[in-house]
Chain A
């Protein structure tokens, strides 16, 4: 697939972001949770993005938060991808009554306050999962129980659109001669679905991934902002922004604690949305 130049520029910028997330906290002279007496220092030569209430370096924390935000986005979007593709494939291929029923379910779920249910799910099962993991070999993950719940919860929220898109695609693809011929030579339904039809829908799925990614990152930050997502000592862009927002006061607000997390988050979302836009245009072109 040949990408247009703007797409390369966007990919480059996103690459820098990912590199900063991976290597930034390692290179930085400050530790993530390193507390210092230099509290609420505005940006200067030492602390490029300033420090927070506990004297922690904001830039380091933002780069560390990028790990969490991007990870949740990636895993959540992948989970939604798996569910959406499988659901859409089955509904579209089987057709008829099954399809009708499955799509009605999607319609209904579309109408529900899904994020509200995710809030209930996540905040309620955090402790339960922790105690569940404690006695097992998975105990080291117990502290990250909430992260696991975020992956699953957000993955469960975002698959609906993809299921619709995939189903619509499958409906047209299954009428094409090559599907008919494979049915004729006696291939089983799973083989036809995964070997014949799935490769045909994959391009659209990649495009969709660039749309699901910002959506999941946004939802994670949303939950974290409300204090229902990632919790200390972990930090994501959402929690950092919430920290900044909690410092709002009419006398002397540490503006850097709000502006920098906001710019990074919006920048990342914008880049991903732009990339999705480019890819969709590419899809539209190749279809013509």
Chain B
């Protein structure tokens, strides 16, 4: 376990460095300046500003300066939101996005797995084909379509929930569902496929011969090995929910990290963008790690060290 952790941590380091470098350079090479406002800046002011934020000199110099600062735990200042550090912005906005994301993640798995198990138990019957079309429909309905349509229907039409905002639990309902629904279909399909394969195997036949009920077979015996592909999918799922959150935060006016990211890219706010990408990258590496660990936990045939 410890060697596994150590190995993964070491192999993640080059990934993080590569992503951060790429991101920093992309934003710096891009035309447009973070200091540009409505009025054009004269060269001297610009030079002073650049020197102040450590953006003077050649690109490798800037990158090196930024890199050594990050290593010391300083993500720099936002260039557009004057007077606020990137760490401060992330610290305030990230928990909101994480809360929304984890609710959606739970919804996607919590609804997807039972649905898929039900479909597998009713394989070849009417419920199965209905389920199949439903699953395809949900995975063909992207978040950014669901969001405005659901606001139109549930917030303005039926007046069940508030249309936007942040703070009250009722304001979380629509965004969380909109973010989760496209992935419920994917989870359900993966569960169904995994279960159907497992239900064909010898140990299930043995359990059936022993007299385990059909429901017990599906939900107790077969489910554990069957959701392995789903666990492998959990990391990409988390990634998709994170990026889907960009749109959701925009439509529902949630002051999450996604909003700051989109604004940062538009404003060429190099430290903010790099900081947010760093956070995304670290989160995803963490999700991958947990997914691999869970896989080994569920399937004793897999050894972590290999």
Contact = CB atoms under 8 A, between A and B. Distances in A.
A110 B287 CA distance: 12
Contacts of B19: 112, 117
A164 to B, nearest CB: 12
A11 to B, nearest CB: 16
A134 to B, nearest CB: 13
A262 B145 contact: yes
Contacts of B161: none
Interface string B32-46: 100000000000000
Residue of B141, B142, B152 contacting most chain A CB atoms (<10 Å)? B142
Interface in B110-140: 132, 136-137, 139-140
A71 B148 CA distance: 25
B239 A262 contact: no
B246 interface: yes
Given A218-B142, A248-B163, A270-B137, A113 B265 contact: no
B262 A270 contact: no
B177 interface: no
Interface string B266-301: 101000010001001100110110000000000000
A155 interface: no
A125 B30 contact: yes
Contacts of A265: 142, 145
B247 A222 contact: yes
Nearest to A257: B148
Interface string A113-130: 111110111011101100
B51 interface: no
B152 A258 contact: yes
Interface of A is mostly: helix
A2 B285 CA distance: 44
Interface string A239-279: 00110110011100101001100100110011001100100
Interface string B241-277: 0110011001100000000011001101000010001
Interface range for B: 35 or more
Given A113-B281, A248-B163, A127 B32 contact: yes
B144 A266 contact: no
A259 B157 CA distance: 13
Contact of A124 (B15, B265, B288): B265
* Nearest 7 interchain pairs by C-beta: A124-B30, A245-B148, A269-B140, A270-B140, A113-B280, A127-B31, A225-B144
11 contacts: A111-B239, A112-B239, A112-B281, A113-B243, A120-B26, A226-B262, A245-B147, A265-B142, A269-B141, A270-B136, A274-B136
Given A112-B19, A120-B23, A121-B26, 12 more contacts: A110-B235, A113-B239, A116-B243, A119-B262, A120-B273, A123-B265, A124-B29, A124-B30, A127-B30, A218-B142, A242-B144, A245-B148
